[in-house]
Amino acid sequence: VPPECHFQLGLLLCVLQLSTIAWAETLLIKGGTVVNADHQYVADVLVKDGLIESVAANIKAPKRSRVVDATGKYVMPGGIDPHTHLDAEMGWGSKAEIISTDDFYSGQAAALAGGTTMIIDFALPINGDLAAGFERYKRVSKKSVMDHGFHMAVTTWNEKVSADMGKLSKEGINSFKFFLAYKGSLAVTDDQLIYGFRRSKELGALPIVHCENAAALVEAQQITFDSGFTGPEGHYISRPAVFEDEGTARALRLAQYVNVPVYIVHVMSGGAVAEIAAAKTRGQRVVGEAVASGFGADEAKIWDPDFKVAAQYVMSPPIRNKEHQRQIKAGLAGGVLSIVATDHAPFNSTHKRAGLHDFRKIPNGVNGIEERLHVAWDELVVPGLITPSAFVGLVSTSVAKTYNAYPRKGLIAPGSDADIIVFDPEVRHTISASTHHSRMDTNIYEGREVKGKVVVTISRGKVVWENDKLDIQEGAGRFVKLPVGGPLFEGLDALDAASVASNYPYGTPGQPVVRNLGTSA
Ligand code: URP
Ligand code: ZN
Ligand code: ZN
Ligand code: ZN
């Protein structure tokens, strides 16, 4: 409490001061190199009322503004992670009712400390009920500290599901996720996937698919378990790349059949990268997502003799060997994959012990919400595979474009939200559970030194991360409504017409052939 409040005359001044701090911090980010997905240039960035006001050379600091020195550093749009599972009531793989370790407060605190200023989280239905699931997520996300949107998972098919997809698409959800894996709980069948694709297309919502062959992996799990591999490595052994390659090919072919754009989550195999490249080559609209663990985590650790270490690495599809990781990085560098997410599905070491004697019961998921930018920079920019601009594209701009949040998000330009990071490419730091901001008691990148560090994070115009300290407020986060339609859906009608033309070379849909059946019938 500032002392002037204790004098009556000072009261007005104090109130004014407090409201200035809360609402209208004017920030000037000086001397940095602004990096957008298209190009980079040296400029100052002026932030007012949560928005970017101007980007220009030598902006004079307005009165009472706070200056952030970015000399020698990159000034980039805040990261957007389109694949997180906060407060998720589901121990994937485990039959136990387990809730993921980070909620919307701790998960987003970790995100901000790592330079991510928006997430799109996967809301789950409750017993197949989408609307009920969304109500739960609206409630648990009230703790949010930053901007966030939602996808919704579709885990069964009936008229209510179809109707709820329509309802949710008007409430700011513009993507629906379908699991080919997790037989008996989340998985959909091929016919359900087709219905879901058709409904998504009708709504202008993007279908998202987790691609693995559910039936094959259940059989492989049994064989693996029966042969004595009951530990975490059994998870790896029983999910070979061919299951992911097949699932990816099938999802892509069915999307081609329905003529709907499609988003493939967590690509973990070189074969899946190749399937996506092939689909793009034949003209399909596909967005391929890599996750940081898929090219930045040590796949050998799942064989560690210490259960606590090994179980951390259980996620689906599994983290594969260096050759797969190389192909994923090449896919990112070459444009086959356009997004780096995390699939942050945190289950601490106590949760993971649900599968101590049976790898099938280990909840699936790894951490990454805080480490994503650092791992991606270290794996992709430092070795020269991509430029800083391409990096911004992968961790922010492409996500904003895919989910219709651009140019409000994913761009440093006047009028855009002031979600900004200052990145120092020269600072090295070591990732550890002892210093991270997630509630997890482990970290799959434990002990890894990375080059480059997010030194300042600005969320909606407020400095929330500086000098290794968070300054956040529970409940300050906004639900960002994501509208349907957008560039991915433009011109689909013309493609549909072309496909009808090729399917009915000698006839017209709706006008069956009137055929002379002859006399013998
Ligand atoms: O293992 C994973 N990926 N857990 C989270 C759920 C999912 O499949 O995305
Ligand atoms: Zn006071
Ligand atoms: Zn998945
Ligand atoms: Zn996921």
Spatial separation of the C-alpha atoms in residues 380 and 396, rounded to whole Å: 15
User: Whose Cα sits closest to atom 1 in ligand 1?
Assistant: 315
Q: Given this model, what pLDDT does residue 521 score?
A: 58
CA of 279 to the centre of ligand 3 (A): 20
Does position 219 have pLDDT exceeding 90, yes or no?
Answer: yes
77: DSSP letter: E
Angle at the Cα of 244 from the Cα atoms of 240 and 246, rounded to 5 degrees: 110
Does position 18 have pLDDT exceeding 70, yes or no?
Answer: no
- Select the more confidently predicted residue: 22 or 402: 402
* Beta strand residue intervals within 91-130, DSSP E: 116-123
Query: Of the residues 364, 367, 440, which should be mutated to test ligand 1's pocket, given the most ligand atoms within 8 Å of the CB?
Result: 364
Does position 5 have pLDDT exceeding 90, yes or no?
Answer: no
Q: Given this model, what pLDDT does residue 419 score?
A: 98
- 8 A C-beta contact, residue 333 and residue 283: no
**Span 415-444, pLDDT tens digits:** 999 999 999 999 999 999 999 999 999 999
- 8 A C-beta contact, residue 247 and residue 276: no
- Select the more confidently predicted residue: 360 or 7: 360
Tally of residues, the chain? 521
CA of 428 to the centre of ligand 3 (A): 32
Contacts of 153 (CB under 8 A, 6+ apart): 122, 123, 124, 125, 133, 176, 177, 178, 179, 186
Count of beta carbons in the 10 Å neighbourhood of residue 162: 17
Atom of ligand 1 minimally distant from the CA of 315 = 1
Count of beta carbons in the 10 Å neighbourhood of residue 360: 17
Query: Of the residues 84, 239, 316, 362, which should be mutated to test ligand 1's pocket, given the most ligand atoms within 8 Å of the CB?
Result: 316
**Span 184-201, pLDDT tens digits:** 899 999 999 999 999 999
Spatial separation of the C-alpha atoms in residues 19 and 2, rounded to whole Å: 13
- Whether the full predicted model's pTM is greater than 0.80, yes or no, is yes
CA of 266 to the centre of ligand 3 (A): 7
- Per-residue pLDDT band for 22 (boundaries 50, 70, 90) equals very low
* Topology at the third CATH level for domain 76-470: TIM Barrel (3.20.20)
Cα-atom radius of gyration of the chain, to the nearest Å? 24
**CA nearest to 179, candidates 231, 230, 217, 137:** 217
CA of 3 to the centre of ligand 2 (A): 6
**CA nearest to 458, candidates 21, 90, 162, 25:** 25
- Per-residue pLDDT band for 207 (boundaries 50, 70, 90) equals very high
Q: Given this model, what pLDDT does residue 8 score?
A: 52
What residue segments make up the domains of the chain, in order of their start?
A: 76-470
User: What number is the average pLDDT over the span 294-315?
Assistant: 98
Residues of the chain with pLDDT > 90, as a percent, come to 92
**Span 55-92, pLDDT tens digits:** 999 999 999 999 999 999 999 999 999 999 999 998 78
User: What number is the average pLDDT over the span 149-158?
Assistant: 98
User: What number is the average pLDDT over the span 150-158?
Assistant: 98
CA of 207 to the centre of ligand 4 (A): 14
CA of 416 to the centre of ligand 3 (A): 31
User: What number is the average pLDDT over the span 142-150?
Assistant: 98
Q: Given this model, what pLDDT does residue 90 score?
A: 82
* The dihedral formed by the CA atoms of 131, 342, 250 and 192, expressed in degrees to the nearest 10: -10
**Span 450-480, pLDDT tens digits:** 999 999 999 999 999 999 999 999 999 999 9
Q: Given this model, what pLDDT does residue 25 score?
A: 81
Show the ligand 1 pocket: residues with CB < 6 angstroms.
85, 92, 210, 266, 315-316, 343, 345, 364-365
- Per-residue pLDDT band for 3 (boundaries 50, 70, 90) equals very low
Give the number of whichever ligand sits closest to the CA of residue 315: 1
CA of 120 to the centre of ligand 1 (A): 14
Atom of ligand 1 minimally distant from the CA of 85 = 5
Does position 159 have pLDDT exceeding 70, yes or no?
Answer: yes
What are the helix and strand counts (H, E) for the chain? 17, 19
- Per-residue pLDDT band for 11 (boundaries 50, 70, 90) equals low
Atom of ligand 1 minimally distant from the CA of 210 = 8
User: Whose Cα sits closest to atom 4 in ligand 1?
Assistant: 365
**Span 357-377, pLDDT tens digits:** 999 999 999 999 999 999 999
Burial class (CB in 10 A: 0-12, 13-18, 19+), 493: exposed
**Span 26-63, pLDDT tens digits:** 999 999 999 999 999 999 999 999 999 999 999 999 99
